[in-house]
Amino acid sequence: MTWTWIQSFCKIFKFLILYHQMMFRLMWRGKLPPDFARVMAVQGQTRRNEARCLYDLAHGALKDGVIVEIGSYRGLSTIALARGSLQGPKIPVYAIDPHECTHGHRQGEEYGPQDNIAFFEHVLFFRAAGIIRPINLLSIEAVAGWKKRVSLLQIDGNHDYEAVRADFSLWSPFVLPGGRVAFHDSSEPESGPFRVVQEALKEGKYIFQKRVNKVPVLEKQGSPIALEARARNLPTEAIEVCT
C-alpha cells in the first residue's frame, strides 16, 4: 500500500514538473496567453498551431450554439476548445468518442479504455470539467437523439472516407449559419478528410476560411446577422490565425 502511494505521488510530481516546463517554454517562445499554454501540456496528436487555431475558433464561436468534437483521444484538442470557450462565449464542448479498443489510421496506433482514463485525468487537472460534456458513443449513435444547434464542429474521428463523410453529413445540418467546421488530418489528397472537404466546398454550402497545417476550416454560408454575431465575439488575434 505504501509503495503504491509513493509511485502515485512520484507520477503526479513528474507530471507537474513537465507541465510547468511546457508552460514556460510556450510563454517564452510564442507570447501565448497563459490560458492556452496549459493546453499543450496534454498528450495528443494535434500540433501547437493547430491547437491554437481550435482555441481561437472556440473563443469566437457563436453563442447561440454549442461546440461538438468528434474524436477526442486523450483530450488535447478538447481542452483547447474548452479553454477557448471559457475565455469567449462560455458554451459547452460535447466530446464524442467511444474510447473502445480500435486501431488507428496510422500503422501501430491503438486506442482503448486507457485513453478514456487519460482523457478524464486531463479534463480534471486542467479544470475544464465544468464545460466539457463527454459522450462515450460513436458519432452516428450520438447524433440519433441530437437536437442542439452547433456553432463549431471539429471532426477528428475515423479517417476512412465513408466514416468522415457520415460524420459530416449527419452533423452538418445542425451547424448554424456562420458556424465553423474544422477537419483534422486533411492533407493527403487520397485521405478521407481531404476528399470530404473538397466535396463540401463543391456543394456550395460552405466556404473555405483557412488551413493550419493539417486542419482546414470551413464556414457555413448564412445570414449577415449570424456573421456579425460571430465577429463581435472574435478577438483580433483569432481573426489573424483562423480566418
136: domain CATH number is: 3.40.50.150
Note down the domain range covering 204.
46-242
Is residue 76 one of the residues assigned to a domain?
Answer: yes
Is residue 9 one of the residues assigned to a domain?
Answer: no
Is residue 66 one of the residues assigned to a domain?
Answer: yes
Is residue 22 one of the residues assigned to a domain?
Answer: no
Is residue 28 one of the residues assigned to a domain?
Answer: no
- DSSP letters along 83-143, please? HHHHHTT---EEEE----SEE-SSTT-EE-HHHHHHHHHHHHHTT-TTTEEEE-S-HHHHG
pLDDT in tens, 8-26: 666 666 665 555 555 544 4
Which three cell numbers, joined as nine digits, stand for 231? 465577429
Distance separating the N- and C-terminal Cα atoms of the chain: 54
Give the pLDDT confidence score for residue 83 in this predicted structure: 92
Give the pLDDT confidence score for residue 199 in this predicted structure: 96
Is residue 73 one of the residues assigned to a domain?
Answer: yes
- Counted domains in the chain: 1
- DSSP letters along 166-182, please? HHHHHHGGGEEEEEEEE
Per-residue pLDDT of the chain (243 residues), as tens digits, is 566 666 666 666 666 555 555 554 444 445 566 666 667 767 677 888 899 999 999 999 999 999 999 999 999 999 999 999 999 999 999 999 998 866 555 544 566 788 889 899 889 888 899 999 999 999 999 999 999 999 999 999 999 999 999 999 999 999 999 999 999 988 888 899 999 999 999 999 999 999 999 999 999 997 645 555 555 554 434 433 443
Is residue 2 one of the residues assigned to a domain?
Answer: no
pTM here? 0.78
Is residue 150 one of the residues assigned to a domain?
Answer: yes
Contacts of 84 (CB under 8 A, 6+ apart): 36, 54, 55, 56, 57, 58, 59, 61
